[in-house]
Amino acid sequence: MQMQTLAHIAERLDGGETSSRALTEDALARIEDPDGEGPAAFVRVFRDSALAAADASDGLRAQGIVPSPMAGIPFSIKDLCDVAGLTTNAGSVVMRNTPPAMRDAPVVARLRAAGAVIMGTTNMTEFAVGGLGLNPHYGNCRNPYDRDTGRVPGGSSSGAAVSVSDGMAAAGLGTDTAGSVRIPAAFCGLAGFKPTVGRVPTDGIFPLSTTLDSVGPLAPSIACCAVVDAIFAGEDPAPRPPVPLAGLRFGVPDTLVTDDLEPEVAAAFEKSLSALSAAGVRIEDASVPGLADLASVGRLRFPSQVEGYAIHRERLEHAYDAMDPRIAERLMGGTQMSGADYYDVLRFREDLIERSAKVTRNYDAIVMPTLPVIAPPISQFEGSDEALRDPFIIVIRNASIANLLQRCALTIPCHEAGSAPVGFMLMGEAMRDHRLMGIGQSVEALISPNLR
């Protein structure tokens, strides 16, 4: 099963050109290929239950019962989702002796009810703390671009992205606290969507930050993401129409987001802006208050730092040496924040949300490069103590803005086919998720190599 949109797969299923069993067997063959990325992309593979679900889906379809556009289609879920009867690893060996989950996470239960065939749980950065997607416990899956070099897939939803790019699933579930859906999607040439916090339940998802965590899809297209997002949110997954581009107004922040771009990113972003302008979109510089303060994000820190430490403090005390040293060190950063510091961070965020809204509400979307860089080689982060500290904070710089501003956001690939993947990010207003995805579909049709 090569990467195809959900709509195309559903058409093939409806027309009898394929079956859920055939799709699932093909996905399993890719996962189990010893020369492929499956062994590193998946932590668990649900071979027997996936085949049983596929056969059940084919039987229902033969009776005219198709519960959703995802029915019978292979899907992957991130390793921090509760699955009834299994221990939730969250990308860590530390969790192996914890009790199994009593029930599926709501988003997993909704996928099952929609008829999706769940292939297994995908690899991730340990405890979702990091943007590169490296994991010393379960291995490093490689970005689909430049496999010979071996580039990072992006994180923390690393296996989710590779499972889709390599045809091991048609779409995947990721989580996004500071860009962990959009970063791997952008690095791997996929579409990714981060909903407004609160639209999609996070119950049964191992937390990193109760303030910032969200659950979103990675898929070949924004239309695919819209279907999956609707299922996650318990909404009608019927396709939604794209929003025409002519007359829309996009703002490009004049601070921070276009600093230090690698040449491939700068060229792809400018070309995309030119194409949008030619299509009738008004592209304007936007002075978004507070973004300059984010340049010192390492000093200001995120709510996730103290919240992550609070969640993991007992593990850090008793199992520090069993954890990825770069993750343990990062989580320990939460000890450097006092209660007053944490209060200041939350007040800073509230002020940033309020001030920025006065500017951004005048635009149909705020746009920027999803990532300032293309995927670096994995070898860059191996070997020395300095490399193991994983100082590549630039990968979360732009993506984390939407999390801090409590917005919805999406990424669309905008590079030339065959070249290094580059993401184009659109950020919408809080709870305007449906409109943003409608705009995203139209932008994607213009700039994405996946749809040209």
C-beta of residue 172 within 8 angstroms of C-beta of residue 225:
no
CA-CA distances (angstroms) from residue 333 to 179, 243, 302, 321, 336? 19, 43, 11, 16, 6
Q: Coil, helix or strand for 243?
A: coil
What letters, b where the CB count within 10 A reaches 16 and e where it falls short, cover 164-196?
bbbbbbbbbbbbbbbbbbbbbbbbbbbbbbbbb
Catalytic residue flag (residue 180): yes
Q: How far apart are the first and last CA of the chain?
A: 20
Question: Quick one: DSSP state of residue 320?
Answer: G
Nearest to 187 by CA among 377, 402, 27: 377
Q: What angle do CA 224, 229, 234 make, to 5 degrees?
A: 135
148: which 2 tokens? 């010979």
209 is catalytic: no
Place of tokens 């005048």: 362
b vs e for 20-35, b when ≥16 Cβ sit within 10 Å of the residue's Cβ? bbbbbbbbbebbeeee
Classify the C-alpha dihedral 283-289-295-300 as positive or negative.
negative
Distance between CA atoms of residues 37 and 168, nearest Å: 9
Catalytic residue among 68, 180, 214, 448: 180
**Active site annotation includes 165:** no
Q: Which residue reads 């060996």 in tokens?
A: 93
List alpha helices for 250-398, DSSP H. Answer: 263-278, 297-300, 303-318, 325-332, 339-360, 385-388, 394-397
Helix orientation angle between 303-318 and 325-332, rounded to the nearest 10 degrees: 120
Pairing of strands 282-286, 409-413: unpaired
Catalytic residue among 156, 165, 209, 214: 156
Catalytic residue among 57, 76, 78, 163: 78
Rounded Cα distance, 140 and 153, in Å:
8
Which amino acids are annotated catalytic? 78, 156, 180
